[in-house]
Structure 1
Amino acid sequence: MLSFQTLQIITSPSGEEMVVLSKKEFDALAARVEEYDEDADDIAVYDARKAELENQGDAGLMPLEVSQAILKGDSRLRAIRKYRGLSQVDLATASRTAQGHISDIEKSRRSLTDATAERLAAAMDVPAGWLKG
């Protein structure tokens, strides 16, 4: 809580009350407003993301193990494939995609197209949105 030591209230000729405070107190107040604005922005982003997740239902929530693997450096595809207990060969067979293509996507040597994402997601029984981040 800010404490104003040198606060002074004056009345303008039109009757409007005005506050006079020291430069030091003004700077402290301005810093608090800036902090509040940053916090409000963070809260707005959090609320928007939370609403997105609620609108997606369970389809929007990745399992903790997948999220942790991604944070440790695995690609989304690799993290989900491992979570599902599939080898690249297993996934290639189930999705009708070449194993080398899967490897290239996991190592970011190839981009994941929407069509391939749909096939891979269907083979792993996960939402395609999990693969496209």
Structure 2
Amino acid sequence: MAKAATVKSNVQFIHTPSGDDLAVLPRTEYDRLVALAGEAKEDAAASRIVRNSTRALKEGREVVLPKSVADRLADGGNAVRVIREWRGMIQGELAVAVGISQNYLSEIETGRRKGPAELQKKIARALGVPMDLLIE
């Protein structure tokens, strides 16, 4: 078991006439404590971000994409096509899953048509991604 490091401190305690106990410490010790408090605050914020992201992943509000998929999307690839191909689906499968023709889906993937919001929700559900991932 590791032994805790001891920190030598030159803290003075003063008892005031009003009954308060005050700690007086060297500026370097004060600065060290402020820095430690800042690090603890950053750690807590990072932990909160991780918890929120983990919850969003479990609830299906976020999805982890491989770098190659993210790169294709960043390069302007059609989100429906890129995600469909990543999921290993052919156009016909996705079209049937959302109740449209393969031709209509092709027009969505080429950008000639957008489709109503309800259809976009169906596509997102069929692809297992949040709808906002499909919206440009």
Give yes or no for contact 1:81–1:91 (8 Å, CA) kept in 2: no
Unaligned runs of 5+ in 2: none
Give the number of aligned pairs. Answer: 119
Matched, 1:103 2:106: no
Separation (CA, whole Å) in 1 of partners of 2:114 and 2:37: 44
Q: Does 1:33 align with 2:37?
A: yes
Larger relative helix fraction = 1
What is the 5 A alignment of 1:77-116? 77-86=80-89, 90=92, 94=96, 95-96=100-101, 97-104=104-111, 114-116=117-119
Distance 1:18 1:2, change over 3 A: farther
Identity %: 19
Cα offsets for 1:7-30 (capped at 9, x unmatched): 111111122211111111111111
Aligned letter for 2:50? Answer: Y
TM-score (normalizing by structure 1): 0.63
1:1-133 pair list within 5 angstroms: 3-54=7-58, 56=59, 59=60, 62=63, 67-68=65-66, 69-74=68-73, 76-86=79-89, 90=92, 94=96, 95-96=100-101, 97-104=104-111, 114-121=117-124, 125-127=126-128, 129-133=129-133
Secondary structure, counterpart of 1:132 in structure 2: helix
Would the aligned equivalents of 2:56 and 2:62 in 1 still touch at CA under 8 Å? no
- Judged with a 3 Å threshold, the aligned counterparts in structure 2 of structure 1 residues 113 and 12 are, in CA distance, closer, same or farther, namely farther
Letter in 2 for 1:120: I
